Amino acid sequence: MKKKVWLVRPLPHYGDHLETFLEKNIVAVGYPLERDLTDTNFETLRTLLNEKGWGEGISNVNILVNEMSIGDIVLVPSSNKKDIFFGEIKSDYMYVSSLDEDIPEISGYPHQRKVSWYFEKKPYLRNDLPEAIKGSLRYPRALADITKHYEFIEKIILGGPSQQISEIEKRALQVIEELLESTEESIRLKAAEIILAR
């Protein structure tokens, strides 16, 4: 069976959780419904969401709970509009009861899947993507099927992260490299730390 590719925004339940996604190796959606959704069909999900006034989220929840599969690829864009992270789904749907509370930016995203991140959790540069994929990344919902781009995305994964940097980044690196020659030891150390952290 062919793998699917999903756009997953790291914004479940009113908060940007990209760092949590990367640190805990997950993707998630919000909609704290105070229950595990394992084996919950589309119609039941719709009823549960409508009861909370979240009926517009049915597609997001149904994709994460029922449509994603182990081995599928996820693209998770950063809110900085520059970076995008690639991962592979590694688990069935998981319910995390400790996060099933309606507290923006702290919890509220109990519906999850485990992910293994490509490129050692380093981002791919969005500008290096073809316009067709960039267009799909503008899709407004939290989750979307972008499998039509599978072949190109597979090439990216096999080829590794993009290495191109912008002109302004090149200029900044030149400045930092020049600071390595500073007579002040603290400045040289700071410049070295910046370069090694890239």
Q: Where do the structural domains in the chain lie, given as residue ranges?
A: 5-159, 167-197
Which contiguous run of DSSP H or E holds residue 29? strand 26-29
- Number of C-alpha atoms within 13 angstroms, CB side, residue 135? 5
CA distance 157 to 55: 35
Kindly state the greatest CA–CA separation across the chain. Answer: 69
Integer-rounded Cα Rg, in Å, for the chain is: 20
User: Side chain identity at 96, as an amino acid letter?
Assistant: V
Which pTM does this prediction carry? Answer: 0.78
5-159 placed in CATH 3.10.590.10: yes
Per-residue pLDDT of the chain (198 residues; tens, 9 = 90+): 679 999 999 988 778 899 999 999 999 999 999 999 999 999 999 999 999 999 999 999 999 999 999 999 999 999 898 999 999 999 999 999 999 988 777 788 999 999 999 999 999 999 888 888 999 998 888 999 999 999 999 989 988 665 555 566 667 777 888 888 888 888 888 877 776 765
